[in-house]
Structures are given as C-alpha cells and as structure tokens.
Structure 1
C-alpha cells in the first residue's frame, strides 16, 4: 500500500462543476469545506407502508448497520449480485434505524435494500440518498459493470410520529489519491431526528484516507450541522480503509473529533457518532457474498 500523499487537488471551479453535474435538478447551496466540496441534494422518501405488526422497541433505540457490499462487478470479491439479497435479509433480521452502504450500484437501494427496511418498519418513513464515486479522467460517475452508477448511500428510518422531512447533501473530497476513482460521501438530515453520512475512503493511500476522513468529520459534518441548525445526533459510517492502531501514523482514531466516539469492526469499517448517542454494544455478522462483515452498532439517543 502506498504511503505517499498524492496531494493532487481539483480547483474549486472544476470541483463545483463536477458536483453540479452529479446532483438532481433543483439542488443548490454549493459549499466548500477544508478538503471537500458538497451541495444540497434531494433524498428519496418512500410513502408510509402498511404491513404485519412488528415487535415494539424502546423509543430511544437507534441501531446503525454498516455494509460494504462489493457489488461493482469489477472487484475480486464480487459475487454475481448476491450480496444485495443477503444484505436485504440482514436488514430485515436486524431492523436497524440506519444503514450506511459502500460499493453498491444505484438501483440496489430502491430495488432491494430500501424495501427491506420498509418491510421491517411498516408505517414509518424510509429515506435514502446515493452518491456515486467520480472518475478522475472524465469527471463522470464511476459505473458498475451493469452500467449503473457505483458509490455510497445512506438508508434510514424515521418513525411516523417524528417525521418532519429529510434534507440531503452529496460531496466529493478535493484531496484524492492518484487512482481514477475519486472518493465521495452522502449525508442525510432527518429533520429533528438525526444526521447520517456514509463514505468510502482511499484504498491506495492511508494518508489520503485519513485526510478525507478528517475533512468529513472535522469540516463537512460541522458545516452541515450549522446549515441545518442541528446540535449533536450525528452518525458517520463507512469503509474508512484505516485501522485502529495507536502505533500507526494513520490511526483511525485521528479522525474522531472531540465530543464523538468511534467503534470499529476490528478491520477498516468504522462508525463515528456524537456522544449524545449512548453506546450499547456491537455485533459483526459474517457475510457470504462480500469480503466485509456486516457491522452493527447499537446506540440509544435522547
């Protein structure tokens, strides 16, 4: 793995143009933070559904499931799309409040994963926000081998009683490694309930991965919270391509701001959350059709 920092940054004008090309019509409020550019976007919110009664849970229970599903069709861990129904089954089983997703194709969420979460929470509101990775050479979305855009997504649930709408943000790091796949993030603010972001950081340079992680956690997230008038209730999950290792200059703990807590899967997946969410426990779920475990972090929130 390369340890050298690529250090190649897009100019602000080029970066904003690329972002504008990737957001839906009507997106606005282009912003820049240290090491990233991002814009307001539109979340997809499913109509409330009906279904069989599900077991009741404590109102303050908040569970986050992190999944890297290796569904591009290009990487060696690809399993002919079978990671998606496997993940849908895990979502139905676990009933998380939030799912952060990496290495998926654009239709994986609306076709399989969002319906699984909706079936787990009949009557509540389910939202999702997808953001593709970007090709360095063309400035266009990276594609799965099926032709769909490839990237990250936030998939979440808000109780019917608490639902006040969902605001979305999508962005790209200006600091990238020298590869053609440029890394991005997706964020969603469920108004009055929580802010959640998903990201997949550089795989070829740990210094770049740490720089991207710090940009998101130290700059982008506080800026979005300020724009939304939110204090606390924040969760960021993803494949950081960083390990927790106090002897490593690129220790994952170095991208955890004050007032936040990090929990990892023992490898490169992490969930960072504001400490107004109380930590309960974690569970790793072995996955047959991807090379990463499903990583569940159980929280309670005020």
Structure 2
C-alpha cells in the first residue's frame, strides 16, 4: 500500500510539473506570436507632372490621400509627383516626407512640373510611428537613357527600417535594368532592414527581367505590370493587392508583411 501511495504521489507530482511547464510555454508561444508586427508598403505612381496623357489635374492626389487615410501603411513610395503634392499629402495625412526632384539634362536644374507647379520627382511618406529619418540618399543614376529626364533614386533610413523609391527609364529596358541594380546596391548597403517600392518599367519574365535586380535575401511582388515592391526576407510576405487610384493609369500596389 505504501508503494502504491508513493507511485500515486509521484504521478501527481509529474502531472503538476507538466502543467506548470505548459503554463509557462503558452505565454512564451503567445509572446513569440505577438512579436511579429504588421508592416505595409503602398506604391503609387500618380501621373501628376502635367505632361503625360494620364494627367488629371490633381485628381490622383485626392485619391492617394484617401487611400493613405483608409489603409494607414507604414511606408508610401510615390512617383510622378510635384513638390506641392507632397506638402499637401503630409498636411492631410500626418505622415513624414522625403522628396527629390529628377534632373533636367537640358538645363542642369530640377525638372519642373507643368504650369509652374514646382519640382517634379519621387517621394517617400512614412507613418510617424517609424520615427525620425536619418540622412537621406538621393542621387541621379550613373546610367541614363537619351531623354531629357534624368532618373533618380531616393532612400531614407530610420532606426531599424529603410525605404527606397524610384521611377526608372521608360524608353530603354537595358538602362532601366542597370538603374535597378544600382538602386538595389544602395538599398542593401544602408545597414538596415530595407524595402523598395517603385515604378521600375520592367516586368517579370521580360527581357530584361526585373528579377535580375532582386538581391540575394530579398523577394519581389508586383501589380502584374511595372510597379514593384522589393523587401528583405526579414519582412515576411503576407499578401499583395492592387487598389484603385482615380486620375492615374496605375493602380496602387499595397503589400502587407510582418516583421
């Protein structure tokens, strides 16, 4: 009888110990799950220079502001915008901003939007939760096509995340591919977890293939056409969707990840 009692006591002790371990394991698993935070990138080409057929007198800016207010992405990458568009967008969304104009080969000055609407270029908007920006990297590409517009890259580092954007050559695919590889090199050298959003004027499976400028340890998703988001694989891909943006010939590309 004494041995049976000891066996029962031992069994009860083991059961209690296992229950205690389970009680510890569940919060640990929950903490690990909770540690993955959502992170979203919205890529937009607003066609707002005034020169292209898709120009709609600012209608695309209205639509972009509404999309940002509704979806609240962490990063918004913007192409074909004018400097005053960014001023308005930051005022109405509360996002932080960085902007750089493309170059005008004929004048050596920034390229201007039509009708005196300020400099024309690319921009990055960021949710205030990302904090203050470090020193931005903004420059013209070494490779340029024969057109007057000198394409540029823009990267902005934050404490743990960096974001880049660009709008690559539309007339020469080989030049676009060279520009894309230069951008990828800059993004990987930033020393932070990085994402890129832009109108690359390259497609998957094309010649040249946009996949050729995706660095090792990165992945890419697109809108089915020339807009792409590239991200280091620390950003675990969840899903991508296109969203309608009035007043431009490009949809918005919203990519949801966790990190």
TM-score (norm 1): 0.71
RMSD: 1.7
- Which has the larger Rg? 2
Out of 216, 219, 223, the position equivalent to 1:261 is 219
Q: How does 1:99-138 map onto structure 2 within 5 Å? A: 99-111=76-88, 113-118=89-94, 126-138=95-107
Counterpart check, 1:188 vs 2:146: no
1:203 is the counterpart of 2:170: yes
SS in 2 for 1:153: strand
CA contact (8 A) 1:127 1:166 kept: no
Give the gaps of 5 or more residues in structure 2: 1-33
Unaligned runs of 5+ in 1: 1-56, 119-125
Aligned structure 1 segments of 4 or more residues deviating by more than 6 angstroms? none
Give the match for residue 174 of structure 1.
142
Contact 2:133 2:156 in 1 (8 A): no
Cross-structure match for 1:280: 238
Q: Confirm or deny: 8 A CA contact 1:99 1:155 kept in the other structure.
A: yes
**Quick one: which of 50, 59, 64 aligns to 1:87?**
64
After the TM superposition, which residues 38-117 of structure 1 pair with which residues of structure 2 at under 5 Å, given as runs? 60-111=37-88, 113-117=89-93
Q: Distance in 2 between matches of 1:275 and 1:199?
A: 20
Find the counterpart in structure 1 of residue 203 from structure 2: 243
Q: Does 1:155 align with 2:121?
A: no
Q: After superposition, give the CA deviation of every residue in 1:50-89 in whole Å (9 maximum; x if it has no partner).
A: xxxxxxx987111000000000011100001111011100
Cα gap change, 1:85 to 1:59, in 2 (>3 Å): farther
CA contact (8 A) 2:100 2:138 kept: yes
* Distance of 1:171 and 1:265 partners within structure 2: 26
Per the TM alignment, residue 273 of structure 1 is displaced from its structure 2 partner at its CA by 0.5
Of 265, 289, 292, which aligns to 2:247? Answer: 289
The number of aligned residues is 225
Do the aligned partners of 2:188 and 2:194 also contact (CA within 8 Å) in 1? no
Give yes or no for contact 1:89–1:116 (8 Å, CA) kept in 2.
Answer: no
Partners of 1:171 and 1:117 lie apart in 2 by: 27
Q: As a proportion of its length, which structure holds more helix?
A: 2
What secondary structure sits across from 2:136 in the alignment? strand
